[in-house]
Homo-oligomer: A and B are copies of this chain.
Amino acid sequence: MAKRKIDFQDLMAETERLLLEKGYDGFHFKLLANRLNVARSTIYEYYASKEELVTAYMINIMNRLTAESEALKPLASPLMHLKELMQIFIKYSQIHQITQMIPLINRDSSPAVKSSIDRLSEEHTRLYQTITDLIEKAKQTDEIRSDIPSSVLARVYFTAIEIPNDDAMNHRDWSELIFQVLYEGMSGTKRS
């Protein structure tokens, strides 16, 4: 048999690069095949369609994020937990951009795609719920204000992940900075 020309790591990496670079609609097999130096039809040996490839990629990266998030389960205060999670989310900040592509995927292209998308949405909801719960807990320990609905604070938190890191700071320092602004606000008054 012929030696594999396609390396799965490469395939996932290039898929990510192209998705971020060209967007969901701009991404197609011809482009990917060129990057991987294989014929376009070869990719069909592994994935039946663009939709299946993209959802497979999404599941893959989402699993990595979930694993890393749950690795820090036993942690100090809810507030510190929120801070650590922010650091991970920012490290995987592609996910947020990728997540926004989900509505563009044609669910009806195959049953596999449909169930992958369901799985992704479920996982996304679960993450969201985790944050909301942590915020609720932090309200009880009085680390977070109680006069704003937790659902709103959760949305603020998630949106903060998308703040463009134009200075290309390393993601640790960057998430530190963002969390500080998020927590203390632009006024900058600190808790005693």
User: Footprint of B on A, CB under 8 Å?
Assistant: 23-26, 104, 135, 143-148, 151-153, 155-157, 159-160, 162-164, 166-167, 177-178, 180-191
The copy count of this chain in the complex is 2
- Contacting residue for A191 out of B155, B156, B160, B189, CB 8 A: B189
Question: Smallest distance from the beta carbon of A33 to chain B beta carbons, Å?
Answer: 20
A-B contact pairs, 12 of them (CB 8 A): A23-B25, A26-B104, A143-B187, A144-B188, A151-B166, A152-B167, A152-B177, A156-B163, A181-B185, A184-B187, A185-B185, A189-B191
A166 touches B159 (CB 8 A): no
A11 vs chain B, min Cβ distance (A): 23
For A144, list chain B residues within 8 Å (CB).
186-188
Docked pose: A156 CA to B160 CA in angstroms: 7
User: Do the beta carbons of A163 and B153 come within 8 Å of each other?
Assistant: no
Contact A183 B187 (CB under 8 A): yes
CA distance A160 to B181 in the complex (A): 12
Measured CB to CB, the closest approach of chain B to A164, in angstroms, equals 6
